[in-house]
Structure 1
């Protein structure tokens, strides 16, 4: 499987959403496997991704926010999908949401092989291939070690608790942002738009898998908020972790010291 296969899926989804605009249909279709409300846009995109793999007869195990986990054969790669990362943004009319697709060829996060994210508003594409680098709209991207300005983004499922825990970090920030799409936060950090991304409450595997591969291949430092490696976490539906992603080791250490 090549990255262009994932890009083709993403571009078709972008075109369909641009024309049909399913995000404005706020009808609840019940709750997906993650426990979150499934909206028509979530189902549409998940269906398109699965249909693409089935059409090409590509055998995979599946981890998806909506359908959950379908482990068919341990010898197959695992498709990790967040059909719409930023669903609440999408149905609220906030133009910041994405599709995130990752492929793992083993049982832990260090086996992530391909990562792909597309911004479903402007079509920006981000992807990474393990040991072959990260790319933004076709151009290779490499870590920017600039020390200023420091722009920190965060995401949290429990904002009150999360903000209390990371307030000390804000004193070194020139700007702080909370955009509402973990995948795009990681993607734009890898494009040089952010210095640090923090998720102080547990993030789900389908939210971050593509993004952390892109960030790692870009050259960013990726750990949990205690500074522990997440490489050996299992590739399964229930995997969750906090995240701290920084564009330099010096900045990463500074953030860890402030959190502690």
Structure 2
């Protein structure tokens, strides 16, 4: 992939993130439910308008894309082609309830292989901050960022997903309790796309989801950021390379570095 190609895809992706953000801000003044998405979750007008805005931006490029979106599933843009993994609005429940923490996530790949991702990005809808990755660096609003150097688990600022509702396996709650005993500063924002991206920018030291609950659209962009930035990441229920078309649920750990990541694994082992 040439430098010019990466620049071209970067512009498409960033423009799509910004366009989606603008549509969400306009649409959130009057939020209505429309239907269920392919996963059985409620699609609101803000989800629909964000997805529509992203499709429009990709169409403008004239390049063929096969878009895999949380809302509508597979969408062929300009006849299909390169893969685009899209979460038009991650944190819809926050948006609906007026909690200012939700995001949009997009990555572009040559194929359905995780290793073929070219660029990825996440935008914080409420602040407009863009976290972007071009395979060389991770940027926050155009400035190169790195994961933190934190290695001590008790001092870690980490997202720990605390949900146990509907979980029958007691081993999960036991592991969750172990983690919470070791992490002094747990967080949970309700938008995994940006929480996982924050590990690569140094805003968070770790992200921990022990139960298979996440989807590819939630974390594909930020996993690519972690790979690029040198952060630690491990999919707990998938051994092989991540298939970007995978429809199942995922549990994972991201950490600022291998030392911290392995300490987290030691706690739950």
What TM-score, normalized to structure 2?
0.86
Distance 1:252 1:180, change over 3 A: same
Aligned pair partner of 1:194 in 190, 194, 204: 204
Distance 1:205 1:95 in 2: 23
Q: What are the residue-to-residue correspondences of 1:149-164 with 2, within 5 Å?
A: 149-155=155-161, 158-159=164-165, 161=167, 163-164=173-174
CA contact (8 A) 1:225 1:243 kept: yes
Paired residue secondary structure (1:176): strand
2:188 to 165, 168, 178: 178
Structure 1 match to 2:230: 219
Q: Distance in 1 between matches of 2:121 and 2:72?
A: 19
1:17 is aligned to 24
TM-score by length of 1: 0.89
Alignment of 1:1-260 (within 5 A): 1-18=8-25, 20=26, 22-70=27-75, 76-130=81-135, 132-147=136-151, 149-155=155-161, 158-159=164-165, 161=167, 163-202=173-212, 203-225=214-236, 232-260=241-269
The 3 A distance-change label for structure 1 pair 92 and 229 is: same
CA distance in 1, matches of 2:17, 2:198: 17
- In structure 1, the gaps of 5 or more residues are none
**SS of corresponding position for 1:30:** strand
Q: CA RMSD in A?
A: 2.3
Paired positions, count: 255
Contact 1:98 1:117 in 2 (8 A): yes
Cα drift, residue 12 of structure 1: 2.7
1:150 and 1:172 in contact (8 A); partners too? no
Query: Cα–Cα, structure 1 residues 194 and 164, in superposed 2: closer, same or farther, change >3 Å?
Result: same
Which moves more between the two structures, 8-17 or 73-82?
73-82
Q: 5+ residue gaps in structure 2? A: 1-7
